């Protein structure tokens, strides 16, 4: 039976309306029976599908749904940036188009995502990024100014670096595009998929420079640890993501990358009235290490935070620990190729990867599906479900999130 509608007794502030924050908002507003007033603060009124920012940078059109439509009428949306947080006093400072003001809250959910700036090597200010809409727009403008034959380097061979270099090389075959990575190119994948990644990059004309750690950046070159240099008129830094400084500045316990250290219930270990989800939260996975920054973590962690806060507001007992099992990764290499790599539930590449039309379709489904999952959760608030890690005795392996 649905709970009766009540006057809100709890005010939850969600900082950031990306995948994790938007999911928390719709699920909490939809499932709390009117007991919780949900406010979301986000720098802009549109939803940014971060999975497509590297495509946006090369001029591909990317839909940007209005947050009002995505989150629905039960969520209060404030355009602005939270510039300060006092978790003990339950106050946030918000700067937006209407100036700066203070907002009170009972609980706050930090869903601020991650950034690649500032780049942690000398000369990092010369680099571009794809981690935010603003960075992607700046990169797009800079690419537009680059003459044919110019050197471009993408630093970082993780998923974002691979997808970015593939997109750049396809869109601008007139440039000399390199991927510079400290690891082995495609090294995370199983052997067959790694070979496919290397072949595909080669076909796109990308020169892959593996085992090369960048020690400094200049406006026209990269300096490597081994003394070598790579020419680069434009460098895109995809070499490691960190949380924005807000949590650290608020005095929360954070890890080296500035992400909020949480317990298994996604609450800050230093300030339990604060929850952290998505890239902003460092939650220990049952097998050890933090859950990888990904949509596979962002959406379920956002949903679980909603369940934690709902249980508290409604007095229905604990939502239990968060538990997630990964299933696979889809990585695109330009618009014409993708890899669908199965993983263990602990996010380790395993089994036979797909590289044909099924992989391309899976990638297309993923980039649209992550946004659709939020819309679906607004209409059917308990809709999304996810599998467990198989490590916890206190949760079922395939959890119903309804
Ligand atoms: C180019 C690219 C491709 C990617 N591809 C994949 C992929 O294929 N698969 C995958 O799983 N992951 C991928 N990722 C990673 C994935 O995008 C992130 O893990 C995911 O977006 C995390 O979700 P989030 O909600 O934590 O953060 P975000 O989606 O980044 O949302 C954070 C939101 O918080 C807002 N915000 C930040 N600070 C404040 C503040 N102080 N006040 C108010 N609002 C604030 C931001 O503006 C943003 O709207 C990719 C990332 C990039 C950059």
pLDDT in tens, 264-282: 999 999 999 999 999 999 9
For 349-359, the pLDDT digits (tens) are 999 999 999 99
Ligand 1 atom with minimal separation from the 21 CA: 25
pLDDT band at 9 (very low <50, low <70, confident <90, very high): confident
pLDDT band at 397 (very low <50, low <70, confident <90, very high): very low
What is the distance between the alpha carbons of residues 325 and 345, in angstroms, rounded to a whole number? Answer: 4
pLDDT at 287: 87
Which of 32, 65, 47, 36 lies closest to 111 in space, CA to CA?
47
Among 62, 115, 138, 294, say which to mutate for ligand 1: greatest number of ligand atoms within 8 Å of CB: 294
Name the burial class of residue 72, with classes exposed (0-12), middle (13-18) and buried (19+) by CB atoms within 10 angstroms of its CB. middle
pLDDT at 392: 72
> What value does the mean pLDDT take over residues 327-342?
97
Q: Is the CB of 112 under 6 A from ligand 1?
A: yes
379: number of Cβ within 10 Å: 10
| Alpha-carbon torsion, ordered 126, 130, 132, 134, to 10 deg | 60
Residue intervals in the chain for CATH 3.50.50.60: 10-115+242-323+390-395, 124-237
What is the distance between the alpha carbons of residues 68 and 76, in angstroms, rounded to a whole number? Answer: 9
Q: Is the CB of 20 under 6 A from ligand 1?
A: yes
Q: Is the CB of 18 under 6 A from ligand 1?
A: yes
- Give the residue, by CA position, lying nearest to ligand 1 atom 41: 82
pLDDT at 393: 63
Residues counted in the chain: 402
pLDDT surpasses 50 at 27:
yes
pLDDT at 331: 97
- Output the 3-class SS for 144-156: HHCCCCCEEEEEC
Q: Say if CB 151 and CB 180 are below 8 A apart.
A: no
- % pLDDT > 90, the chain: 91
Give the residue, 77 or 118, on which the prediction is more confident.
77
- % pLDDT > 70, the chain: 96
- Give the residue, by CA position, lying nearest to ligand 1 atom 30: 113
Q: Is the CB of 152 under 6 A from ligand 1?
A: no
Encode burial over 186-200: b for 16+ CB neighbours within 10 A, e otherwise.
bebbbeebbebbbeb
For 217-276, the pLDDT digits (tens) are 999 999 999 999 999 999 999 988 999 999 999 999 999 999 999 999 999 999 999 999
Determine the topology of domain 10-115+242-323+390-395 in CATH.
Answer: FAD/NAD(P)-binding domain (3.50.50)
Q: Is the CB of 347 under 6 A from ligand 1?
A: no
Q: Is the CB of 48 under 6 A from ligand 1?
A: yes
What is the distance between the alpha carbons of residues 247 and 228, in angstroms, rounded to a whole number? Answer: 37
Encode burial over 220-259: b for 16+ CB neighbours within 10 A, e otherwise.
ebbbbeeeeebebbbbbbbbebbbbebbbebebebeeebb
Task: Assign domain 124-237 one CATH number from 3.40.630.10, 3.30.70.1450, 3.50.50.60, 3.40.50.2000.
Answer: 3.50.50.60
What is the distance between the alpha carbons of residues 212 and 61, in angstroms, rounded to a whole number? Answer: 33
pLDDT at 401: 30
Which of 188, 136, 137, 139 lies closest to 159 in space, CA to CA?
188
pLDDT band at 398 (very low <50, low <70, confident <90, very high): very low
For 60-116, the pLDDT digits (tens) are 999 999 999 999 999 999 999 999 999 999 999 999 999 999 999 999 999 999 998
- Give the residue, by CA position, lying nearest to ligand 1 atom 5: 51
Q: Is the CB of 295 under 6 A from ligand 1?
A: yes
* 3-state SS, residue 125: helix
pLDDT at 402: 26
Q: Say if CB 18 and CB 278 are below 8 A apart.
A: yes
pLDDT at 240: 86
């Amino acid at each position: 039976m649905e709970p009766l509608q009540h006057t809100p007794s709890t005010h939850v502030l969600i900082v950031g309306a990306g995948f994790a924050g938007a999911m928390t908002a719709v699920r909490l507003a939809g499932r709390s029976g009117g007991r919780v007033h949900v406010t979301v603060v986000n720098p802009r009124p549109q939803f940014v599908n971060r999975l497509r920012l590297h495509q946006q940078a090369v001029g591909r059109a990317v839909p940007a749904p209005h947050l009002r439509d995505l989150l629905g009428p039960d969520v209060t949306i404030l355009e602005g940036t939270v510039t300060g947080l006092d978790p003990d006093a339950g106050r946030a400072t918000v700067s937006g188009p209407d100036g700066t003001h203070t907002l009170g809250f009972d609980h706050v959910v930090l869903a601020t995502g991650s950034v690649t700036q500032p780049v942690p090597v000398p000369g990092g200010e010369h680099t571009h990024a794809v981690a935010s809409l603003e960075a992607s727009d700046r990169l797009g403008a800079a690419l537009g100014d680059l003459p044919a034959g110019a050197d471009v380097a993408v630093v970082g061979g993780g998923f974002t670096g691979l997808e970015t270099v593939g997109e750049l090389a396809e869109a601008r075959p007139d440039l000399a595009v390199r991927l510079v990575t400290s690891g082995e190119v495609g090294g995370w994948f199983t052997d067959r998929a790694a070979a496919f990644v290397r072949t595909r990059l080669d076909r796109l004309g990308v020169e892959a420079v593996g085992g090369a750690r960048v020690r400094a950046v200049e406006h026209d070159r990269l300096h490597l640890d081994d003394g070598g240099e790579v020419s680069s008129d434009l460098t895109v830094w995809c070499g490691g993501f960190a949380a924005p400084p807000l949590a650290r500045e608020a005095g929360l316990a954070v890890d080296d990358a500035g992400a909020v250290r949480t317990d298994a219930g996604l609450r800050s270990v230093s300030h339990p009235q604060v929850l952290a989800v998505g890239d902003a939260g460092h939650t220990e996975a049952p097998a050890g290490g933090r859950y990888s920054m990904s949509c596979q973590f962002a959406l379920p962690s956002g949903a679980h935070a909603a369940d934690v806060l709902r249980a508290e507001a409604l007095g229905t007992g604990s939502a239990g620990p968060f538990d997630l099992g990964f299933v696979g990764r889809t990585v695109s290499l330009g618009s014409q190729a993708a890899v669908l790599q199965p993983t263990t539930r602990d996010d380790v590449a395993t089994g036979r990867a797909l590289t044909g039309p099924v992989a391309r379709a899976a990638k297309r489904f993923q980039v649209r599906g992550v946004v659709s999952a939020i819309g679906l959760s607004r209409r059917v608030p308990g809709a999304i479900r996810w599998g467990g890690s198989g490590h916890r005795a206190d949760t079922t392996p395939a959890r119903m999130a309804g």
